[in-house]
Structure formats: C-alpha cells, structure tokens
Amino acid sequence: MSSSSITKPSAADDTLRAQIFQRLHPRVYLERFTAEKFRPDGRTFDEWRKVSVNVGSISTADGSALVRMGDTTVVCGVKAEVAEPDLDLPEQGFLVPNLDLPAICSPKFKPGPPTEEAQVLSDRLNEALVTSGVLSLSSLCIHPGKAVWTLYVDSTCINYDGNAFDATLLAMLAALRNTTLPKATYDEETGRTTCSRKNRSPLQLERHFASTSFGVLETSHVLSDPTAFEEPLMDVALTVIVDDHGQLISTNESGAGISQETLLQCISRAKERASQLQRLL
C-alpha cells in the first residue's frame, strides 16, 4: 500500500510568486498595497525613508558630502577653480552643479554618455540652486573683471532606489556648507592669481532649504519620497522646495496634474520635512 503526501508551499515559494507578480503586473501589485493604506516597503503614504548625511569624506575636494536616503546613496564633491568672469557680469563667479547616474548604480542605466534623465536632473538642480539664491555669486569674486571662483558641484549616484533629486540636492547643500576656499589675490602687474595654502575661509551661504518629492497615484494616493519601483507607476510627480523659514521657493510638477487641495497638502508636508532635514545639516 502506497501513501502520498502534499507539500505545502514554503515561505520562499510565496516570496518568489510575489516577485514574479510584481515584475509582470507592477501597477496592480502596487495598487493592492495602497488599497490597504501601505506601500511595498512597509511605509505608510506620508512616511519618509531614513536619511543620513556625512561631510568631509573626500580629502581631495574643497568640500564634500555623502547622503543616504533609504537605499539611494549620493556622493558630492566641490572643486574650486579660478576663472575669468563674463564680460557682462565682471563681479560674479560661477556655480556649476552636475549629476552622474552611472550604470553601476542601477540596472536601469547603461554605460556610455550621460542619460537624458541625468541631464534633466542636472538642469533641475541648477535651476533649484539659482532660484533659491543659496549663494551670492558676487561672493566668489577675487578681482572684478579679472578673476573669480568657479565651483564645480559634482555628484555621483552610488546606489539608485528612487528620488535622486532630493538626495542629490541635499548632498550638494551639505557639500557647499562643508566647502572652504583658499585666500586668493590677483596681481595686476603679472595678471596672475595666487592662492594661499594655509588660509581658507568657508562659503557664506545666503539661504538654507530642502526639497521634498511626492508621487500621486490615482489622484487620491500621495506617496512621499517614492522609490525606484514606485516612481514610474505614478500619475503625477511633484517636488516642493521650501526654505528653513517655511517659505515656498518653487514647485515642479509633471504628469496628469493635481488639485489645489493636494498641492497645498504636499506643501504642508514639505515644510515639516524641510525642518527635519535641516537638523541633519
């Protein structure tokens, strides 16, 4: 007489099925979580990922910072170089932000020239820094019409899990706060600029602020700090930038559009988030 037994599915089998379903039907997978007021990583809609900031880790840079926002990790280094100012703006230096999204940080990025996403994010970062007035460009003047500082604020994403804009802007601000410039003098007779090796001064930032990004799903579900899985499934992407006094600096919206009520809700949450991030700086 033979006997047979039925093998019950193991936890590993269930996990594998969930991963396959997530890959084949990502939108439905996410909607099943949001229907229960939760997200795939266990967070509630308005919950942020943990953030850490470390500064001064790159000894060869004039200022640096490493930011971790959940599993998204961005490193930023500031390099100062002497340059000639524009003829129309003889007393203003230059602030040049840039973000690199290398293939090593995520399978979604391929080796080669900068991706369109990296270029778009770099343009947005540049606009955010200019709009906010974080640094007076005239403070970078060494000698009017002859020599100014150019600050190259270069960021690289080491690991990408969504919301690269918030993480990168935070890394750039922390790196600028960490930046010191050598005392520089311009000799009109020789036309040369000399920099001290010992005397350095910190940058004088004019304003402190933070950005907060949201994803809106089906107009009613507003998800704070979206992950790489959530981002492409959102109907609307919204970024709100406010300063440390709660003053609105700018908003950036893409997608189907949101109601005035949702926008005000996001601005309110952004103000709370900005005060939290300021404590890390």
Contact status, residue 174 vs residue 53, Cβ threshold 8 Å: yes
pLDDT level of residue 92 (50, 70, 90 thresholds): very high
Given a cut of 90, is residue 235 above it in pLDDT?
yes
Sign of CA dihedral 37, 224, 76, 68: negative
Type of residue at 200: R
> At residue 23, does pLDDT exceed 90?
no
Question: Which among 63, 57, 207 has a CA at the least distance from the CA of 149?
Answer: 63
Which residue, 218, 207, 202, 87, is CA-closest to 151? 202
pLDDT tens for each residue of 146-165 = 999 999 999 999 999 999 99
- CA nearest neighbour of 174 among 217, 205, 200, 137: 205
**Does any domain span residue 23?**
no
What is each CA distance from 1 to 5, 6, 7, 277, in whole angstroms?
Answer: 14, 17, 20, 70
- 46: nearest Cα among 279, 278, 270: 270
- Amino acid identity of residue 10, one-letter, is S
Domain count, the chain: 1
> Distance (Å, rounded) from C-alpha 82 to C-alpha 72?
33
pLDDT of res. 6: 58
Higher pLDDT, 212 or 10: 212
Boundaries of domain holding 67: 51-280
For the cut 70, the answer to whether the pLDDT of residue 260 exceeds it is yes
User: For residue 28, with 0-12 CB atoms within 10 Å meaning exposed, 13-18 middle and 19 or more buried, which class applies?
Assistant: exposed
Does residue 12 lie within any of the structural domains? no
What is the rounded CA–CA span in Å between residue 185 and residue 75?
Answer: 31
> Domain containing 143 — which CATH number?
3.30.230.70
> Does the residue 161 lie in any domain?
yes
Per-residue model confidence as pLDDT tens digits over 109-124: 999 888 888 999 999 9
CA angle (196 as vertex; 192, 198 as ends), nearest 5:
175
pLDDT at 2 over 60: no
Return the axis-axis angle of helices 164-178 and 116-132, rounded to nearest 10°: 50
For the chain, how many residues are written?
A: 281
Is residue 97 within 8 A of residue 138, CB to CB? The reply is no
Give 230's Cβ-side CA count (13 Å radius): 29
Pairwise CA distance, residues 164 & 99, whole Å: 9
Q: How far is CA 5 from CA 2, 62, 180, in A?
A: 10, 68, 72
In a domain, 24, yes or no: no
212-227 pLDDT tens trace: 999 999 877 999 999 9
Cα angle 267, 268, 272 (rounded to 5 degrees) comes to 110
- Separation CA 47–CA 255 (nearest Å): 22
pTM above 0.95, yes or no: no
End-to-end, the C-alpha distance of the chain in Å comes to 74
User: Is residue 151 assigned to a domain?
Assistant: yes
Distance in angstroms (rounded) separating the CA atoms of residues 135 and 149: 12
Average pLDDT, rounded, for the chain: 91
Spatial contact of 141 and 92, defined as CB atoms under 8 Å apart: yes
Within a domain: 76: yes
